[in-house]
Amino acid sequence: MAVYAALFLLVASVAGVLTVTADSPEIGFENPDYVVSDGETVEVEGQEYVVQISEIEESGGGHGGGGGGTSLVATIERNVTVEQSEAWANGSTVQVGEQEWRVEIAGENASEFTLVEVPDRQAILEADPQADNETVARDDGEYVVVTEDDESTLVPVEEYFPTPEERSYATGDSFAYADHTVTVDGVTADQAVLVWEATETESIEVEDEGIVTLVETDLVAHFADSSTLHLSSDIEGYESQVAQIEQFEQYNSGLFRVLILGLFSVVLLLGAAFIPSRY
């Protein structure tokens, strides 16, 4: 009985030593395509990306790591140029600069449109101390009451207010609008379409061992430390390392079960040795 107990104890000891001393493999790249520090810019196929590394609350551990605490995440950003457009309907009012304008398109086969100034009549009347602040309507039209030397005169609005400014634009013409230089892309009887280029920020978040596509390149991300990101196109190498880690975890789990079973067998054998004989 003592011999069997010693044998199981030896097996359990060997399994325990192997479990404790075994080094767990970890993901790593000897020659990554890109090594980027926090805040640096990396160029991928002619496109520049800015990398920002930050910590987030960890929802689960990666390969070889435990859960809980925080984990690292990289935000990869680039500025891209996109085409934007806007349609102005015939008869609508638009704001260009500090002035309002009315869009006018003449004819079914028009190739241009006209912006007609919409004067701020209320502001003009309030700025004139001799004019009433409101126009008056008569049977023959609309008037402004102007008082001079205690004598009031009705002045037709067409004569009182300045002639509206007009600006015409044809297809292909450009002008300033809303902090952009816009180009007339097309004109129909119903509307005029304007196009311009604007810069937008494209943002991608990637966690440790995540796959990210930059331009048309697939890269696996790995944090060498809390401020350095490695990006590698060796996806097969990464998958091979993952397989090795999974195999190690299986072997380590098996050794742990051998350790428990060996210790249990030793206890069982020693316990059986002290059971009194019936004969």
Question: Percentage of residues in the chain with pLDDT exceeding 70?
Answer: 71
Which of 180, 199, 218 is the endpoint of a domain? 199
Q: Does residue 76 sit in the same domain as residue 207? A: yes
Helices 2-21 and 235-273 pack at an angle, to 10 degrees, of: 160
Where does the pLDDT of residue 58 fall: very low under 50, low under 70, confident under 90, or very high at 90 and above?
A: low
Query: ∠ at Cα 220 (215, 221), nearest 5°?
Result: 100
pLDDT digits (tens, 9 = 90+) for 131-180: 888 888 888 888 888 888 788 888 888 888 888 899 999 999 999 998 88
CA dihedral sign of residues 126, 132, 136, 142: negative
pLDDT of 151 = 84
- For residue 23, pLDDT over 60 is answered with no
Q: Does residue 60 sit in the same domain as residue 111? A: no
Which of 150, 165, 199 is the endpoint of a domain? 199
Which residue is it, tokens 């101390």? 129
Q: Does residue 121 sit in the same domain as residue 134? A: yes
CB contact burial 52-76 (16+ within 10 A = b; e otherwise): ebeeeebeeebbebeeeeebbbbeb
Q: By C-alpha distance, which of 78, 75, 19, 12 is closest to 46?
A: 78
264 in any annotated domain: yes
pTM of the shown model:
0.56
| Number of domains composing the chain | 2
- Distance, CA of 113 to CA of 184 (rounded, Å): 10
Q: By C-alpha distance, which of 155, 200, 183 is closest to 86?
A: 183
Tell me which residue range forms the domain holding 225.
2-82+202-273
Q: DSSP string covering 96-132, please?
A: ETTEEEEEE--STT-SEEEEEE---HHHHHHH-TTEE
Which of 155, 170, 199 is the endpoint of a domain? 199
What is the average per-residue pLDDT within 178-206? 92
Q: Does residue 180 sit in the same domain as residue 117? A: yes
pLDDT of 103 = 95
Going by the DSSP 8-state scheme, the letter that residue 39 receives in this structure is T
